[in-house]
Amino acid sequence: MSKSNGFYRTMYAIFAGAVRFFYNIRVEGSENEPAEGGFLICSNHISNADVVIVAASFRRQVRFLAKAELFKIPLLKQLITALGAFPVDRGRADVGAVKKTIELLSEGECVGMYPQGHRQPGIDPRETRIKNGAAMMIYRASVPALPVLIQTKGMRIKPFRRTIVRIGKPVTPGELGMNEGTSAEYARASARLFEMVCDMYDPAAAALPAAAGVLNVTVQDAIPVNSDEGDANE
């Protein structure tokens, strides 16, 4: 786990196995995890446990954006900061969090995020809304994205119910069709990236009602990509 702090390594050694046991995690595609260099994990989001499930499924330390309110709670702030989390204000376009993410990625860190923006338990991921931030961040940091799917019966995480974490192959900004860094490119690339997540989804195993269409992913702007305020390269 390159670039991991000592506290994280200790916590990982103690708790990763327990998390994998408690959530009955089976990881598929571990060989796709890059051994070095920055990359952005783009995963669907179905529960509060997703952060620890994803972290326990990767060998390297995964840095996560956490809602800013958690950093106002004494002791919890120190704990999640030591674990590598950093705050994001979900109520607005948090340019500072975007810049921090790009900085970490450029420095070779692994960062995890959820393009859906909030938890969507019990919902087919193919019927969802996503933000365009993931595509913009990998383009500006010049790093690949790693599509990741969390799947379980009914798409609701429960202790000891089988949870599958599927790790897809890394995909570069160029492979997602981003060459000029325009908002149109970000929207198309974001949709394609989340389609890669959905491509790993097994409807039969999820046991949900059939989706109305094969894919119905709607992309929304995550930040003002064409404004000076949204320029994360400043």
**pLDDT of the chain, 234 residues: tens digit per residue:** 455 678 888 888 888 899 999 999 999 999 999 999 999 999 999 998 898 899 999 999 999 887 788 788 887 787 777 778 888 886 666 788 889 999 999 999 999 999 998 889 999 999 888 988 899 999 999 999 999 999 999 999 999 999 999 999 999 999 999 999 999 999 999 999 999 999 999 998 888 876 544 455 666 655 444 433 334 333
The predicted pLDDT at position 215 comes to 56
Which pLDDT score, from 0 to 100, does residue 226 have? 40
Cα gap 212→66, rounded to integer Å: 32
How far apart (Å, rounded) are the C-alpha atoms in residues 188 and 180?
13
Q: Length of the chain, please?
A: 234
pLDDT value, residue 218: 63
Distance between start and end Cα atoms, the chain: 30
The DSSP annotation for 22-36 comes to HTTEEEE-GGGS-SS
Specify whether the CB–CB gap between 66 and 80 falls below 8 A.
yes
- In whole angstroms, give the CA distance from residue 50 to residue 61: 15
- Looking at residue 224, what is its pLDDT? 43
DSSP 210: P
Single-letter residue type at 29:
G
* Most distant pair of Cα atoms in the chain: their distance: 48
145-152 vs 86-88, strand pairing mode: unpaired
pTM for the whole structure: 0.86
Which tokens in the block code for residue 169?
Answer: 């192959």
Domains and CATH numbers, the chain: 6-29+38-220 (3.40.1130.10)
Q: Is 181 left (phi over 0), alpha (psi -120 to 50) or beta?
A: left
136 contacts 220 by C-beta, under 8 angstroms: no
Question: Order of strands, edge to edge, in the sheet holding 86-88?
Answer: 25-28, 163-167, 145-152, 39-43, 110-113, 62-67, 86-88
